[in-house]
Amino acid sequence: MAKKTIAALKEYFKAGKRPTESQFTDLIDSYIHMDAFNPNAYLPLSGGKMTGVLNLGNTSVTWISRDMSGATTNSNFARYFTKLTGSNGDIDSFGHYGAVTDTGVVSMNWGYIGGTAYNVKNAIRWTSDQRVAIGAGAAVVPTAGYALDVIGSEYVRGDVTIAGNFNTYQGSLTAQHQGINKLRADAVNTIISAASVSGTNGIFLRPAGDTVATNQIIISTNGTQYVDNYNLLFGSQTSTGSSIFHTNISGNVSGYGIWMAHNLQFNGTDFIQPRGSLNSWAFTVNNHKGFSFNRANTSGTNGSVVPLIELAKISSTGVISTLNTGSSDQWNAAYGWGNHSGKYFPVNYTNSVNAASYQSDMLAVPVGTYTGAVSLASTNLPFAQVGGLISFGSSAVSTRLLGARDNSDNLWFQSGDGKGAWRQLATRDWVIAQLGSVSTAQRMPTELSEAQIEESITPIKKEYKIGSGSYLELNDETSFITVTGNQSSDMVCNIKELYGEQEIRIINLSASSLLKLQLQGNQVATVEPMKCMKIYISVDLQMVNLGQSTLEILSEQKI
């Protein structure tokens, strides 16, 4: 027969069974060599310790398992599948933390590797829905919605390839690589780089890659920005583009300065015209050129070098210089004004002043009155001296015939070349008498009374009627105006001007047509058929609609 395991022998002799002869033989064979039996070669059912290797079978049904199906109490539990135990306790473990019901149904909160227990910081935790956390502790589980949750900083020794979006859950997004900082669009083209091929510190936008120093924007440590070290470009340069650029060549051609330009660039040596069919225009604030306005004529070829023509400039002393009309301190000569020193007539003479004789017409506005005393000894000389007249009328006058009025309102004139004698034309009393007789000579007393009444009456009411053309243009200052219309087609009343404190009534007598109210050609309201609208114009010329009311025709007389 053969040796059998203890479990098999127990099955033979289970209560209620009757072992056979061969089964007794197996029992004898299993214990016949007890002197050769080594109990350390077998693990006890509980509390044993292995000193060798545990080998499982080579089929998929051989595993290490823990059967909880026979549980009869609800409980949470932690189960360790492996532990690393030393004299200082457990320092590493592998297991899971979950729960079991009184019917043996199990669930897992998380599985874990690393750490000393399920509820301390573990190297890795995972859940049944394939979420993984690195560095989780206490009751922390992987964050919902994320396959990987790293608690703490992450150090990667190789490339990180991202197929989806790159974002930050909270706080600021900081991307750092010690030594060289770059963001690339692909293996060649660099989007942002903080490394410089020239050794300059700063941030560089390099569409052509790290090793190409041209066609880039640089934000250096002092904040300056460059495109090709000079130009900041806007728009299509060969169409309608503009630019801002910096020049750094000593001299009056380019100088040290900032430029705001249209259809113009600077390449470090020359000015370039991107579109050859257009003129170039530029303004600069410049150490060598001051404030300078420039133009370059069309070259005919895109990208050509062009010379600038300075149209105007303002120097450091405030002098304005122009291309064709000289400078501001020469404009008297430039515009033919000449030197006018000592040739201006002052507004008021405080003392007698001799000026150059003037023999052309003169238009002047009175600037005051003459208050000099008249000499009683010289009855024909109202002024102390010839030439003392200082106020002219608003009409052209000749210096060969001057008129004047003295302090007593007597009228005088002087003939000759300004040196002749003054003669009295009329006295004040005579002039008053003549004016009085003129005002009453043409009318009888009754006519004067009627004229005064007539002048005091001004019309305050007027009425206008929209004719067959269905259009009326209104421009009237009358206080109360009535506009009526009764045409078969829609009518228009256009108010050309507004006058304050005015009331206008718009009456639409048509049973079917509209009457449209316009202000200076723009429609502002519509009067419905058989309606009346009141409009009031305020002092500050606001047009106010006082509303519409329904008309009722009480009687009608045929004309």
Comparing C-alpha atoms, which of 483, 471, 476 is closest to residue 521?
Answer: 471
**294 contacts 307 by C-beta, under 8 angstroms:** no
Answer whether residue 241 shows pLDDT above 80. yes
pLDDT at 384: 41
> Quick one: CA torsion of 119, 124, 125, 131, rounded to 10 degrees?
160
508 falls in which pLDDT band (50, 70, 90)?
A: very high
Give the mean pLDDT of the chain: 76
Q: What is the spatial distance between Cα 167 and Cα 175, in angstroms, rounded to a whole number?
A: 11
Q: What is the spatial distance between Cα 480 and Cα 502, in angstroms, rounded to a whole number?
A: 6
Q: What is the spatial distance between Cα 405 and Cα 422, in angstroms, rounded to a whole number?
A: 11
Strands 304-305 vs 290-296: parallel, antiparallel or unpaired? unpaired
With residue 85 as reference, give the H or E element that holds it: strand 75-86
pLDDT at 162: 83
| Buried b / exposed e along 180-203 (16+ C-beta atoms within 10 A) | eeeeeeeeeebebbebbeeeeebb
Strands 480-485 vs 502-508: parallel, antiparallel or unpaired? parallel
3-state DSSP assignment of residue 156: coil
pLDDT at 388: 38
Sheet holding 271-273, edge to edge: 265-266, 271-273, 304-305
Answer whether residue 372 shows pLDDT above 60. no
Please state the three-class secondary structure of 150-201 as a single string.
ECCCCCCCCCCCCCCCCCCCCCCCCCCCCCCCEEECCCCCEEEECCCCCCCC
pLDDT at 400: 43
Amino acid at 293: F
Distance between alpha carbon 335 and the CA centroid of its chain, in Å? 45
448 falls in which pLDDT band (50, 70, 90)?
A: very low
More confident residue, 453 or 126: 126
pLDDT at 526: 94
pLDDT at 214: 64
Comparing C-alpha atoms, which of 116, 163, 153, 124 is closest to residue 141?
Answer: 124
Q: Which two tokens stand for residue 546?
A: 């006082």
Q: What is the spatial distance between Cα 99 and Cα 118, in angstroms, rounded to a whole number?
A: 13
**302 contacts 286 by C-beta, under 8 angstroms:** no
3-state DSSP assignment of residue 167: coil
Which residues are within 8 A (CB) of 388 and not within 5 positions of it... i.e. 6 or more apart? 352, 370, 372
CA torsion sign, 544 to 549 to 551 to 554? negative
Q: What is the spatial distance between Cα 139 and Cα 487, in angstroms, rounded to a whole number?
A: 91
pLDDT at 209: 67
Answer whether residue 108 shows pLDDT above 70. yes
Q: What is the spatial distance between Cα 438 and Cα 498, in angstroms, rounded to a whole number?
A: 40
Strands 320-322 vs 402-405: parallel, antiparallel or unpaired? unpaired
More confident residue, 159 or 283: 283
CA torsion sign, 146 to 148 to 150 to 155? negative
3-state DSSP assignment of residue 376: coil
Q: Which two tokens stand for residue 67?
A: 């059967």
Q: What is the spatial distance between Cα 13 and Cα 277, in angstroms, rounded to a whole number?
A: 114
pLDDT at 178: 61
pLDDT at 513: 93
**262 contacts 281 by C-beta, under 8 angstroms:** yes
215 falls in which pLDDT band (50, 70, 90)?
A: low
Answer whether residue 181 shows pLDDT above 70. no
Q: Which two tokens stand for residue 361?
A: 């017409």
Which 8-state DSSP code applies to residue 327? B
Beta-strand ranges (E) seen in 87-172 are 89-100, 106-113, 124-126, 132-134, 148-150
The radius of gyration of the chain's CA atoms, rounded to the nearest angstrom, is 57
Q: What is the spatial distance between Cα 552 and Cα 507, in angstroms, rounded to a whole number?
A: 11
Comparing C-alpha atoms, which of 409, 408, 367, 359 is closest to residue 389?
Answer: 367
Q: Which two tokens stand for residue 241?
A: 């583009």
Of the ranges 232-236, 323-327, 369-373, 504-508, which is most confident? 504-508
Comparing C-alpha atoms, which of 128, 116, 122 is closest to residue 140?
Answer: 122
Assigned CATH topology for domain 458-550? Jelly Rolls (2.60.120)
More confident residue, 445 or 487: 487
Which residue is it, tokens 């000393």? 116
Answer whether residue 481 shows pLDDT above 50. yes
Q: How far is CA 279 from CA 164, 291, 309, 553, in A?
A: 49, 20, 11, 74
Domain boundaries, given as residue ranges, for the chain:
6-38, 75-150, 182-227, 231-327, 458-550
Which 8-state DSSP code applies to residue 345? P
**405 contacts 412 by C-beta, under 8 angstroms:** yes
**418 contacts 396 by C-beta, under 8 angstroms:** no
Comparing C-alpha atoms, which of 420, 407, 345, 333 is closest to residue 373?
Answer: 407
Mind giving me the DSSP string for 487-540? -SS-EEEEE----SSEEEEEEE--SS--EEEEETTEEEEEEPTTEEEEEEE-TT
> Quick one: CA torsion of 295, 301, 306, 310, rounded to 10 degrees?
-10
Which residue is it, tokens 């127990």? 10
3-state DSSP assignment of residue 8: helix
Amino acid at 116: T
More confident residue, 552 or 259: 259
